[in-house]
Amino acid sequence: MKQYIIIVAGGKGLRMGGDLPKQFIPLAGKPVLMHTLENFFSFSKEMDIILVLPRDHQEYWRSLCQEYKFGVPHRIADGGETRFHSVKNGLALVDDDDSVVGVHDGVRPFVSHEVIRRCYDMAGCGKAVVPVTGVVETIRRIEPDGASVTVPRDSYRLVQTPQVFPSRMLKEAYAAGYKESFTDDASVVEAMGIGVELAEGNRENIKITTPFDMVVAEVLWRCPYHRAT
């Protein structure tokens, strides 16, 4: 069964405190986004990689690919007004409905091959799959009156990507139209009444959005287990 990955890279880098979008910030000698694409390509050279970028970032990305002699094959789709619209544009390039498609954040370069394999295998059986990790901190919920209460952390999970689905299922979900309540691809699919399966993620699969995250990412890159398969 053919596998696609839609890598969404629409960040403007505001939380990084600079003008350079976070997906283009150098990590271990090359832009974060290149590491992300290389990770999926190294998992499977047969995977069809679709990169979603704002139109005004695409020329810069092509110049980076030339500068770094970046050779991972991929196609580019235009970013949209929201993440929903960006993913929908990426889905338009998925030309095999009897396939499996994942959606991944461009600034998550450390997802393990084991997690990718697990999610795609489950989606290949017709499931909507989301990788998650457990919560290690104590959680408090803020009540409407401003008070807070402790909630059982075993009842919660932290959501990661790639979120992976049968292509036909995801296309049908995105054809139904946008709602402000959509927070990720799983919420779009759930709006059709489809249940979501949870798969074990890897804790190193951080989303790089702040300067502190970049410090962590540099440390992870130097650790031998960050590419665990």
**114-126 pLDDT, tens digit each:** 999 999 999 999 9
Low-confidence winner among 17-21, 102-106, 115-119, 213-217 (lowest mean pLDDT)? 17-21
Report the predicted TM-score, pTM, of the whole model to 2 decimal places: 0.94
Rounded to whole angstroms, the Cα distance separating 9 from 20 reads 13
For residue 92, what is the domain's CATH number? 3.90.550.10
Task: Quote the percentage of the chain above a pLDDT of 90.
Answer: 90
Question: Degrees (nearest 5) of the Cα angle 80, 82, 83?
Answer: 90
Helices and strands: H and E segment counts in the chain: 7, 12
Give the structural domain span for 102.
3-227
Rounded to whole angstroms, the Cα distance separating 48 from 226 reads 23
Beta-bridge partners for 102: 5, 164
Q: Provide Rg for the chain, Cα atoms.
A: 18
Helix (H) or strand (E) holding 189: helix 185-190
Rounded to whole angstroms, the Cα distance separating 65 from 123 reads 31
Residue pair 2/48 in contact (Cβ under 8 Å)? The answer is yes
Low-confidence winner among 5-14, 105-114, 153-162 (lowest mean pLDDT)? 5-14
Low-confidence winner among 10-19, 39-48, 156-165 (lowest mean pLDDT)? 10-19
Q: Which has the closest alpha carbon to 4: 122, 78, 93?
A: 93
According to the model, what pLDDT value does residue 223 have? 81
Task: Quote the percentage of the chain above a pLDDT of 70.
Answer: 93
According to the model, what pLDDT value does residue 166 have? 98
CA distances from 83 to 80, 181, 188 (A): 7, 12, 11
Number of structural domains found in the chain: 1
pLDDT category at 151 given cuts 50, 70, 90 is very high
Rounded to whole angstroms, the Cα distance separating 134 from 14 reads 28
207 burial via Cβ count (<10 Å: 0-12, 13-18, 19+): middle
In the three-class reduction of DSSP (H, G, I as helix; E, B as strand; rest coil), residue 177 is classed as coil
